Amino acid sequence: MQMTLFSSETYFTSPDCVNCQIYGTKNGKPFICNKEEYCSEHTSTEGVVDQNFKARGSIIDMNLILDSIEFYLSYGMYVKWISQLQYNQTYQYQGIGLALTRVVQSSFWSSLYNQAKIENFSYSLYYAANSYNLTIGGYNQSLLTQEFYNLKSVSVMRNLPYKIADDLVLADLYFNEQNILKDAQILLDPTIDGIILPLKLFGQMSNILLTQRKVADISQFLPSQPGIWSSLKTAPSFQIQFQLDDPDAISKYLNVNFDAQAFNTKNQKGQFTPRISFVDIIDENNQFYNVVRVGKILFQQMMYYKYVQNGVQLQESEFRGLAPMIKVKQQ
């Protein structure tokens, strides 16, 4: 079952929603509110999901079981119609997402907390054995090789298309060990596989391959198709140097290295293609956006943890951390 976890209302997709392909995924199944399963439907409602979408539907209450924890969720929104407030937008926050802030205002989280099902407003996320693993209210310490690094968040509010500055973290990017972008604003996005880079970086990365004599030997390195290499010996690598918020200044950076094997996918012919794509993103003033989306490629190596320290107050402080994991089986 798909649903939002971090918005003020918890949204469920109704089978009656005829245009919810922009709300869910192509293979997603709608939620059926069944009285026999303790789901009750109440009055009609509508509301703005985020800055781009408006939803209409009904208010529902229900019993839910989350990893053997049973709790009662009140004031869920049963979506029967969704419309775009701005043209040609993509709905980003359905299912497991990290982009929405203010978890303490979420009906899903507040229900768990108020019923003493969780002790704090926190969650952890990593990828293993062909699926994401989400832990509500904590993390599995036995999977970690060391404690979490405190990521440095972006403090400046952005304009469109990224009005989500609270969940952007700072990092420097390296391609084949050469710096290509300082102070990149990283959006951790489990809905994608690899790394989505600004198109402006393509020329610099292409020059690095040429200078190092590691140009793709099967298919050309292009913005629309990032090349094909015959061997991992010449296939590119990538590094993300996350900036840390460490008051004690013990460490300023967390280096996450994606060697050629991790950074490239292997096709049926035994050839290799980088797990990257390029998008041409500019802001309302036609200025370069340095926002980079990083997906499953990171969650396969690192566990992400988010914790709200003062969950019952309006002015909460949030911790966002990454920790390296022990080797887990990947598919």
pLDDT in tens, 167-199: 789 999 999 999 999 999 998 888 889 999 999
Tokens of 85: 């407030």
Residue 166 and residue 98 share a domain: no
- Note down the domain range covering 16: 10-118
Residues 80 and 222 in one domain: no
Q: Is the pLDDT of residue 316 over 60?
A: no
Q: What local confidence, expressed as pLDDT, does residue 23 receive? A: 46
- How many Å apart are CA 173 and CA 158, to the nearest integer? 20
Q: Which two tokens stand for residue 137?
A: 């209210």
Distance CA 151, CA 244 (A): 5
pLDDT digits (tens, 9 = 90+) for 46-97: 766 655 667 888 988 888 877 777 888 877 888 888 777 655 544 443 333 3
62 and 180 share one domain: no
Residue 297 sits in the same domain as residue 248: yes
User: Distance from first CA to last CA of the chain, Å, rounded?
Assistant: 23
Instruction: Note whether 177 and 272 are same-domain residues.
Output: yes
pTM of the model: 0.78
Q: Is residue 181 part of a domain?
A: yes
DSSP state of 268: T
Banded pLDDT at 224 (limits 50, 70, 90): very high
Q: Which CATH number goes with the domain that contains 315?
A: 2.40.70.10
* pLDDT, averaged across the chain: 81
Q: What mean pLDDT is predicted for residues 301-314?
A: 74
Pairwise CA distance, residues 115 & 117, whole Å = 6
Determine the pLDDT at residue 166. Answer: 52
Residue-wise DSSP of 110-176: HHHHHTTS-SSEEEEEEEETTEEEEEETS--GGGBSSPPEEBPBP-SPP-TT---GGGEEEEEEEET
Beta strand 195-198 with 276-279 is parallel
Q: Phi/psi at 321 (nearest 5 deg)?
A: -135, 155
pLDDT digits (tens, 9 = 90+) for 106-130: 777 778 888 888 888 888 999 997 8
Q: Is 36 contained in some domain?
A: yes
Residues 105 and 199 in one domain: no
Same domain, 101 and 27: yes
Report whether pLDDT(205) > 70.
yes
Q: Produce one character per residue of 58-97: b if its CB has 16 or more CB atoms within 10 Å, e if not.
A: bbbebebeeeeeebebeebbbbbbbeeeeeeeebbbbbbb
Residue 75 lies in a domain: yes
How high is the pLDDT of residue 21?
56
**How confident is the model at residue 135, as a pLDDT?**
85
SS3 content of the chain, % helix, strand, coil (to 5): 15, 40, 45
pLDDT at 156: 57
Task: Identify the pLDDT of residue 314.
Answer: 47
236-292: per-residue pLDDT in tens?
Answer: 999 999 999 876 657 789 999 999 999 999 999 999 999 999 998 765 565 567 889
Higher-pLDDT residue of 206, 129: 206
**What is the CATH number for 82?**
2.40.70
* 3-state SS assignment for residue 241: strand
CA 22 → CA 46, 209, 277, distances in Å?
A: 17, 38, 22
| Per-range mean pLDDT, top range of 155-169, 200-214, 272-286 | 200-214
Q: How many domains does the chain have?
A: 2
* Structure tokens that stand for 72 in this block: 């009662």
* pLDDT surpasses 90 at 225: yes
